[in-house]
Amino acid sequence: MLIKLKNKDTLVIDDFKFKCSIGKNGIKKNKIEGDKSTPKGLFSLGKIYYRSDRVKKPKTRLKLVPIKKNMIWCNNPKSKYYNSETRINKICRHEKLFRNDYKYNYILVINYNEKQIPYKGSAIFLHLTKNYDPTVGCITLKEKDFLILIRLISKKTKIKIY
């Protein structure tokens, strides 16, 4: 099964089309950390993180991880934890997963830069939006669409961003 990002504002899977938003600077083949672009390519999908204190455990075939207060995603290219989930007690620049707003109530990890190549980009997620504002590199969906999408996909599903 394949999810396709089409026309920079539509995710397509089977017969479903979902309105979405992407990075402020569009799609780039040679993404670098902080360039506010969404990476071009074909990627597998990772875990789904969710705020169990705010939302229900979603129905999906992917691995689910409740978000805890001390969970972060390291975006410091000089850290050995670069582009991976870790804990706040690690010293590195990071993206908090336990946010005050709703955007990370659900997160689907897009397995971009899995080899953790410094400065190639980190924390590329599919997460929530209410207004489709451009992101710093992630792809966003409304919550109802996110919940439909994650019911359709499996570990073998890939996302094609082009």
C-alpha–C-alpha distance, residues 21 and 125, integer Å: 12
CA 70 to chain centre: 19
Strands 94-96 and 71-74: antiparallel
User: What DSSP letter does each residue of 57-109 carry, written as one string?
Assistant: PPP-SS-EEEPPTTEEEE--TTSTTTTSEEETTS-S-EEESS-SSSTTSEEEE
Per-residue confidence at 57, pLDDT binned at 50, 70, 90?
Answer: very high
The number of folded domains in the chain is: 1
What confidence tens digit (pLDDT) does each residue in 65-86 have? 999 999 999 999 999 999 999 9
Helix (H) or strand (E) holding 150: helix 143-152
C-alpha–C-alpha distance, residues 159 and 155, integer Å: 11
CATH number (domain holding residue 144) = 2.40.440.10
What six digits make up the tokens of 53? 């204190």
**Is 91 a residue whose pLDDT tops 80?**
no
What six digits make up the tokens of 88? 């706040």
Among residues 117, 89, 98, 109, the alpha carbon closest in space to that of 30 is found at 117
Strand partners, 139: 126
Q: Is 50 in a helix, a strand, or coil?
A: strand
Strands 2-6 and 158-161: parallel
Supply the pLDDT for residue 90. 64
Query: What distances in angstroms separate CA 48 from CA 1, 41, 61, 150, 154, one per listed residue?
Result: 17, 20, 10, 9, 11
What is the residue-averaged pLDDT of the chain?
A: 96
pTM, 2 dp: 0.95
Residue 128: give the domain boundaries: 2-161
Strand partners, 154: none
Supply the pLDDT for residue 151. 97
Terminal-to-terminal C-alpha distance of the chain: 17
